[in-house]
Structure 1
């Protein structure tokens, strides 16, 4: 009888095997569910998780390269903090600029200031709006760097191509998102025109602070400058083509974004008809989710 009892599995042993089998089944099923998601479903999944967060922080780097020059022409870092789901503050500071370029192309592009900048934005009806009465094109340009705005644009885009990238780090999912060139070009054109108008309004607002004896002369000079700049912008926008590609890294465990990079390439003609090329790259890392 003793020999027979040793050969028979005990109740606890059988129960342990059953529980172990169930755990393995659940793990495999969970993996299967994750892998069964399409790239589009992965984006919707992480967007839903992000939409439920009231607080987060991010740190980013933006770099601008012009033409076929080697190396980065100019770059700066920035940080952002989201509070109460709708209130966002972004601070940026230039990291350096090339010799012989004291003004910097990021400044002329409305993306930087010599001493850095700070912008406060609020989410209203799906759009991040700058909370300032100042007609400042720079602050409006900051919206282009806001990774939360970029994710919103991806979600709202009528046309986009989302694919899965191979070789993702353990525990992550990486999506490659290419925006429709025509839609991306139109969106950027609208923003540049809006920023140009804000530049004019800012000049007129400052004009009110000068002595009356100088106001008329300065008004004429400002009008000439704005007219020239507007014509140059019109020439650039007429032939401009934009391509925008994002790479979104998702934490599989939390389902939340951990990193978002973007590469925006612009091809256009200068006022003299010379082909020009600009590439703006951003790299944002998210943390502090609550």
Structure 2
């Protein structure tokens, strides 16, 4: 029995020494959907990790707004703290994003494989298109929540002569309701995955919003780029 264990260990070492050949065999046996699921599970299993990135918005006419820079950290699997260089609150939970994509994707494909990142990790790149209904429902929830927060603050801070401010808040609500009825959302992600650790190293999101406003069809674009680092797990320390 002891000899058999030694032979198994030797066989495993030979497989590891095969390098890229071993990786290609593993990749051939895993579908793009499985890689997406593994990257979600791998990140969710981490005790803690950090991420940093930027989010920018632009209009169809070529108008671009200044990017919003942010960085965050997750500890104890789910305790999220995030800081931004702007006063506007930004909520971006990578595990929730991957979980949503894992459950409600329209398509998943491997677009590149075998490249090495700056740390030397062998990677593959997934392109994931989110289901349109899921993307729209998520953004409707976000926009309604933001408007309720703003209009709630208006009501709380309103004093004498505040009728005009309340009227503006009600008008904003009506405009948002009209916009949401015509809203169409298309979201696609590119996710760089460490093939050995099965962890996401980078995520790029591109979202297009199309909606009607005052008899005009408008389009906005959002781009989010996030990098992950400082992975730690009680099962195995990684970095």
Q: TM-score range by the shorter chain?
A: 0.7 to 0.9
Task: Say which SS state the counterpart of residue 207 (structure 2) adopts.
Answer: strand
Structure 2 CA distance, aligned partners of 1:286 and 1:180?
25
Q: Which position in structure 2 is the counterpart of 1:78?
A: 70
* Residue 54 (str. 1) matches residue 47 (str. 2): yes
Indicate how the Cα distance of structure 1 residues 242 and 24 shifts in structure 2: closer, same or farther if over 3 A, else same.
Answer: closer
RMSD after superposition: 2.3
* Residue 264 (str. 1) matches residue 207 (str. 2): yes
Normalised TM-score (structure 1): 0.68
Structure 2 CA distance, aligned partners of 1:152 and 1:172?
20
* Between structures 1 and 2, the one with greater strand share: 2
Q: Which position in structure 2 is the counterpart of 1:231?
A: 174
Q: Which position in structure 2 is the counterpart of 1:63?
A: 56
Structure 2 CA distance, aligned partners of 1:168 and 1:226?
53
| CA shift for structure 1 position 29 | 5.2
Structure 1 CA distance, aligned partners of 2:164 and 2:16?
75
Structure 2: 5+ residue runs without aligned partners? Answer: 1-9, 117-121, 233-239
Normalised TM-score (structure 2): 0.81
Moved more, 238-247 or 32-41: 32-41
Structure 1 CA distance, aligned partners of 2:169 and 2:11?
73
Deviation per residue, 1:150-203 (Å, 9 max, x gap): 22321332x421111136623101110001112211221122122211212222
Alignment size in residue pairs: 216
Q: Which position in structure 1 is the counterpart of 2:222?
A: 280
Structure 2 CA distance, aligned partners of 1:151 and 1:21?
31
| Aligned match for 1:178, one of 129, 151, 172 | 129
Select the structure of larger CA radius of gyration. Answer: 1
Structure 1: 5+ residue runs without aligned partners? Answer: 1-18, 94-115, 118-137, 208-214
Contact 1:168 1:174 in 2 (8 A): no
Task: Say which SS state the counterpart of residue 196 (structure 2) adopts.
Answer: coil
Q: Which position in structure 2 is the counterpart of 1:16?
A: none
Task: Say which SS state the counterpart of residue 169 (structure 1) adopts.
Answer: strand
Q: Which structure has more RCO (C-alpha within 8 Å, separation ≥ 6)?
A: 2
Q: Which position in structure 1 is the counterpart of 2:119?
A: none
* Residue 250 (str. 1) matches residue 186 (str. 2): no
Q: Which position in structure 2 is the counterpart of 1:165?
A: 111
* Residue 149 (str. 1) matches residue 140 (str. 2): no
| Aligned match for 1:240, one of 159, 183, 187 | 183
